[in-house]
Amino acid sequence: MLLLISPKQTESALALCLLCAAGYVLAARNAPGQPKRAMKVNAFELVGNSIASGQQVFLGTEDKVYIIDKTENNPTQINGHPAWAAEWSASSKQTRPMEVITNTFCAGGSVLGNGTWLNVGGNQAVTYGGDPAASQFGGAPYNDLDGGQSIRMLNPCDSGDCNWFLVAPMTTRRWYPTLATLQDGSIIIVGGCTFGDYVNNAGQSNPTYEFFPSRGPPILSPIIQNTLPVNLYPLIWVLPSGKLFIQSGWKTVLLDMDKNIETPLQDMPDAVRVYPASAGNTMLPLTPDNNYTASIMFCGGSNISTERWTQQWDIPHWPASSSCVQITPDQSPNYVELDPLPEGRTMGNLILLPDGRVLCLNGAKTGTAGYGNTSFTIGQSYADQPHFTPLMYDPKAPANKRWSLDGFSSSIIPRMYHSAATLLPDGSVFVAGSNPNSDVNTTAPYPTEYRIERFYPSYYNQRRPEPQGLPNQLSYGGSYFNVSLTLADLFGNVDSIQTAKVIVMRTGFSTHTMNMGMRSVQLQSSFTGNIDGSAVLHVNQLPPNAGIMPPGPALLFVVVNGVPSIGIQVMCGSGKIEKQSMLPVQSLPTSGINSQQTGQQQVSGTSFLTHSAKNWLVFVMKYVGAVSAILFL
């Protein structure tokens, strides 16, 4: 229902809005204080046993990481068969085996706008060695069911009693599908194959996409259809323009999901980036400085030519690519070269950190993802020469100086095919998995790996800001909120408030060198520095465009002098799968620091009020239609 309202009604609408802002204040949280212990920074620590090898991992609550493996002979049992899923607690380092029923082998995942996680697709039921089981309906030894069409759901919890459950399956089989959460909190599921292999082939390709909740039968995707044999786990991102970016084989397109039209962009230079070349990839942070324009970065992979993917040759010793490229698809169809990796890398995960840098870890110097039984594989691994040492990329550093190598301690664990990594709320990075074997093998050159590591970035031991007044939910546009920081949060200098950034991050679903859905969005903010050295950040809600940050759970950080607070989980959007309301953006108070030296206020509170009253007026005049539509719908 759309009502046009009089200025008087507008006033009461604004009063309502202030009430809802007050509601936010009442529901506000303070950031948790400090990490419990100081750690050796730029280094790894062993933090437990994953029970199921970490092929797929994601952060589900502020404390719990969910681990998903393929069906295999893991030593920990659940309900009388090996467990191939688990839940790890960051606070206790304990792991709980979980039942997932169907074979989750090379599935995809993402989170719905209402906070429920999906895990989609997989392989048929198997027996020892990954061979097809005698029955697709359960039974010894693994008692797994066919997972090819499965849609599994989980509502993550801290109570230790949430479990995966199956919902109505897809109409087609998808092994190696990629998922992305869309602007309304639903999910698109792209590509895959029916029965798996090192690379895909026309006999079993599923070159289509579909949605969850379902919007009808699968729809043909020409780019997936035309990029055999390297079109599994296509690399996809929802863009601020509302289009879906798809990269598969050497090709790139923008998909208009409403009209089902693909517009080609430039072919990928230098190397194949999708599985099994498996380049690191990420959307770079979306910030007010870059006008929330998305750039996507790819690093490493393999330049194996199209015909050679299906030939038998010494793939494990083929040097991985060192090329890094970036594309800004809403602005330009062309890739641009970035500083290359100092050494070639396949399967090097790129993990966004809250301070705006990108951590690169895991992977190998030669070969590709995948495994097989051939004369040339290393055990069964298609890759060799693990990279044990991480690197850091700073997108803000000048060209030729973006990668830093110095000061990083090495891991002791090869993280080869079927390893994964995700950011944790305290800004450390969880690393698990590695299993280039058809079943559990503890004696292979690259054995099945259960050790979990945590990597501690350089900021880890610094005193963390403890911002007060953080919201539990962020709307798209709408009233700004105030976050307080003490003098200690500002490192003893009120001027540090000028460096403060409020960052909303999705950590994503990590598997096969992708973190599906991972992204970082900096909220607009301004500040008031107080005479006592404390300060207030005035923080806008999410930009009013769900293509910038699709709805669903995310972490919220306040970063001061490059040091992030401990992230809290917030809900982006309404918490429902629905078209999200886009509210007008409020102008923020002008930034200013009240001077201590002179005892005079450089920018007075009164002038702020006047300024903000003016903003309200502009806001009312400009957006009265929109406001009435939103408030009275």
Q: How far apart, in whole angstroms, are the C-alpha atoms of residue 465 and residue 76?
A: 40
Q: Residue 359 in 3-state DSSP?
A: strand
Residue nearest to ligand NAG (CB): 129
How many residues make contact with ligand NAG (CB under 6 A)? Answer: 30
- Only segment of 170-178, 215-223, 406-414, 439-447 that touches ligand NAG (CB under 6 A): 439-447
Instruction: Assess 106 for contact with Cu ion (CB under 5 A).
Output: yes
At a CB cut-off of 8 Å and minimum separation 6, what does 36 contact?
none
Instruction: Assess 290 for contact with ligand NAG (CB under 6 A).
Output: yes
CB of 316 to ligand NAG, least distance (A): 13
Instruction: Assess 606 for contact with ligand NAG (CB under 6 A).
Output: no
Q: For residue 35, count other CB atoms closer than 10 A to its CB.
A: 16
597 — alpha (psi -120 to 50), left (phi > 0) or beta?
alpha
Q: Residue 237 in 3-state DSSP?
A: strand
- Only segment of 158-166, 170-178, 288-296, 518-526 that touches ligand NAG (CB under 6 A): 288-296
CA distances from 287 to 2, 297, 336, 503, 568 (A): 33, 16, 20, 9, 20
What mask, x for binding ligand NAG by CB under 6 A, covers residues 508 to 537?
--------------------x-------x-
User: According to CB under 6 A, which residues from 468 to 487 bind ligand NAG?
Assistant: 481-482
User: According to CB under 6 A, which residues from 208 to 267 bind ligand NAG?
Assistant: 213
Q: Residue 378 in 3-state DSSP?
A: strand
Instruction: Assess 373 for contact with ligand NAG (CB under 6 A).
Output: yes
Taking a C-beta distance cutoff of 8 angstroms, is the pair 73, 439 a contact? Answer: yes
Q: Among residues 9, 89, 114, 561, which is the contact residue for ligand NAG, using CB under 6 A?
A: 114
Taking a C-beta distance cutoff of 8 angstroms, is the pair 47, 36 a contact? Answer: no
Taking a C-beta distance cutoff of 8 angstroms, is the pair 448, 53 a contact? Answer: yes
- Only segment of 110-118, 214-222, 238-246, 617-625 that touches ligand NAG (CB under 6 A): 110-118
- Only segment of 189-197, 202-210, 406-414, 441-449 that touches ligand NAG (CB under 6 A): 441-449
Q: Among residues 325, 494, 504, 577, which is the contact residue for ligand NAG, using CB under 6 A?
A: 577
Instruction: Assess 582 for contact with Cu ion (CB under 5 A).
Output: no
Q: Residue 25 in 3-state DSSP?
A: helix
CB of 319 to ligand NAG, least distance (A): 6
CB nearer to Cu ion: give 436 or 544: 436
What single-letter DSSP state applies at residue 152? Answer: E
Residue the block writes with tokens 């040492």: 389
How many residues make contact with Cu ion (CB under 5 A)? Answer: 1
Instruction: Assess 540 for contact with ligand NAG (CB under 6 A).
Output: no
Instruction: Assess 604 for contact with ligand NAG (CB under 6 A).
Output: no
Q: For residue 311, how many C-alpha atoms fall within 13 Å in the half-sphere facing its CB?
A: 8
CB nearer to ligand NAG: give 144 or 426: 144
22-29 own/partner pairs: CB under 8 Å, 24+ apart = 24/471, 24/473, 24/479, 24/481, 25/469, 25/481, 27/471, 27/472, 27/473, 28/468, 28/469, 28/470, 28/471, 28/472, 28/481, 29/470, 29/471, 29/472, 29/568
Instruction: Assess 126 for contact with Cu ion (CB under 5 A).
Output: no
What is the separation, in whole angstroms, between the first and last Cα of the chain?
Answer: 5
CB of 462 to ligand NAG, least distance (A): 27
Question: From the list Cu ion, ligand NAG, none, which binds 106 (C-beta under 5 to 8 Å, kind-based)?
Answer: Cu ion
What DSSP letter does each residue of 68-105 carry, written as one string? E--S---SSEETTEE--EEEEETTT--EEEE---B--T
Instruction: Assess 278 for contact with ligand NAG (CB under 6 A).
Output: no
CB nearer to ligand NAG: give 44 or 58: 58
Instruction: Assess 438 for contact with ligand NAG (CB under 6 A).
Output: yes
User: If residue 19 lies in a helix (H) or strand (E), which one and from where to where?
Assistant: helix 7-26
CB nearer to ligand NAG: give 172 or 591: 591
CB of 201 to Cu ion, least distance (A): 16
CB of 562 to ligand NAG, least distance (A): 21
Taking a C-beta distance cutoff of 8 angstroms, is the pair 381, 441 a contact? Answer: no
Instruction: Assess 340 for contact with ligand NAG (CB under 6 A).
Output: no
Chain contacts with Cu ion (rule: CB under 5 A): 106
> Under the rule (CB under 6 A), what is the footprint of ligand NAG?
21, 112, 114-116, 129, 131, 155, 213, 290-291, 293, 303, 305, 373, 379, 438, 441, 443-444, 481-482, 528, 536, 538, 577, 589, 608-609, 612
